[in-house]
Amino acid sequence: MIMQNGMRAFDPSRPVGAHLRETLAVHTPWSRSERSENVKRAMESVGFNDPCAVLARYPHELSGGMLQRVMIALAIVLEPDILIADEPTTALDAVTQFEVVEQFEQLRSRLGSSMIFVSHDLGVVKRIADRVLVMKDGEIIEQGETGEIFSSAQHPYTRYLVSSKMALQRHFRQLMGGDGVAEG
């Protein structure tokens, strides 16, 4: 599970690496060196240039985005059958978000893992989801294949969400001069 708030996922009295080492010792048959190598590779895959330095730091010394990436790296190393991710890309910059979503897609493709991916970011949802559940006030108001939801939503709230996202994209393209609209 990848929680929305990384600060609550780690013991504040120990470096984050201790959490990863203990988790892997319990859940894998790997030797200490195999665990270290696999963690290093996963940490690099989520954008850490110096994984050892990050693993030696305490949670309060890392940003929310960095803690989020540590949790994602741990999920990648564990190769779970099912992954629950609660707003896993919220605290990440755009480049890291792209790379992390790519890692989720590769993990799903390589292992056939299932994911429950909770997000308000419709761009990420559209990219990663096969099926979408739309919730409002704690109730599921619509569900279906991703393409169906984004192209022909039935519920007014879902249509509002999708149209708002599309309007923002159109406005951005206009600002950037990329949709062929004549300036005048």
The domain segmentation of the chain, as residue ranges, is 6-129, 134-184
Q: Residue 182: which pLDDT band, with cuts at 50, 70 and 90?
A: very low
Give pLDDT tens digits for 106-120.
Answer: 778 877 888 899 988
Buried b (16+ CB within 10 A) or exposed e, 117-154: bebebbebbeebbeebebeeeeeeebebeeeebbeebe
For 5-14, 70-79, 168-177, which range has the lowest pLDDT when averaged over its residues?
A: 168-177
In this predicted model, which residue has the larger pLDDT, 80 or 166? 80
* 28: helix, strand or coil: coil
Q: What is the CATH number of domain 6-129?
A: 3.40.50.300
Looking at residue 184, what is its pLDDT? 42
Looking at residue 43, what is its pLDDT? 92
Give pLDDT tens digits for 23-63.
Answer: 999 999 999 999 999 999 989 988 899 999 999 999 999 98
Cβ partners under 8 Å of residue 62, min gap 6: 6, 16, 54, 70
